[in-house]
Chain A
Amino acid sequence: MPFIVAFVLSYLLWLVLTAGTNGLLWSTQELIAGLIFSLIVAYATRDVIGEKAGRFLNPAKWIGFIAYSPVLFWGMVKANLQVAWLVITGKIRPGIVRVPVDLENDAQYTILSNSITLTPGTLTIEACPEEKALYVHWIKIPEGMERLESSEPVAGPFEKWARRLGR
């Protein structure tokens, strides 16, 4: 199964890179060469990509990722404007907070951590799956939020999405 995932991933990238060799589509040579190179790459990286990566071949998950992209984009727009305001006013209260999260696997931690880092003002420093927590550097900690009970104030709806997408 990891072999198939690595093969699909690399063949998709090959198709994206070589699109337009035959009109808008692909010439036969490119398709066959991509097949060969993808098989080699997939064979070489079958141990790397992870045992349970097969769940990302589920089309329902792709729809989930597409549905997630506007949520993430809107979060980034809002947070960028907020940080621009913080830069102008200079009223910051930085610090590192421990954010308890309820996630099970590495992919969920990666999605949530990258989402938190992409929304400015918050920056994931360390993800600790053992203690089910993220350590997040926050540029402006609101009063009384130094000890968090949930990830809601830092991540907004992202934890729910990360749990669903990485499952």
Chain B
Amino acid sequence: MGVIVRTGARATIPLIGIFGAYIVAHGHLTPGGGFQGGATIAGAGILFLLAFGLSEMKRHFNKNLYSALEGIGGLAFLGAAMLGIGTAFFYNVLWHNGPFFNGKPGTLLSAGYLPIMNLAVGLKVFTGLVSAMVGLALYRRWRK
């Protein structure tokens, strides 16, 4: 892309990233949540891919890191769901008698395991979508 798009992307990619993080972190308070925020952050990654091109993306994209982070996101979701396995699967033990995440409803540290699950889903969606887009962009050529 041209110089204007690239400079604009330089300024907006951190802003898109922090806005996506805001959506993910406030998933239990405001509209949005893990998927929507993760897709927003993935938009920043795709903007990087489009504005700077595939060769620059190849230098910054670490396949193993993204793959590992996607797995960690899924495992964190499962781990939060297993916390209350003594009562039932998905039992919100952090909310009922946990050490943290049990503040007054409406504050950031409330709603038990929901913030953890939102962060896990956001991480998984972000890494998964960016990996998928890079994988499509890297597809060898139009015609065999």
Contact = CB atoms under 8 A, between A and B. Distances in A.
Interface string A12-35: 011001100100000101100100
A110 interface: yes
Interface residues of A, number: 35
Interface string B1-21: 011101111110111011101
Interface in A109-141: 109-110, 113-114, 124, 126-127, 129
A92 interface: no
Given A27-B108, A47-B60, A49-B10, A110 B4 contact: yes
A106 B2 CA distance: 10
Contacts of A33: 25, 108
Nearest to B44: A45
A45 B60 CA distance: 10
B48 interface: yes
Given A17-B19, A41-B21, A106 B14 contact: no
B22 interface: yes
A141 B60 CA distance: 45
Interface in B18-69: 18-19, 21-22, 25-26, 48, 60
Contacts of B60: 47
Q: Which of B8, B9, B22, B109 has the most CB of A within 10 A?
A: B22
A94 interface: no
Nearest to B47: A48
A38 B18 contact: yes
A42 B13 CA distance: 10
Contacts of B18: 10-11, 13-14, 37-38, 41
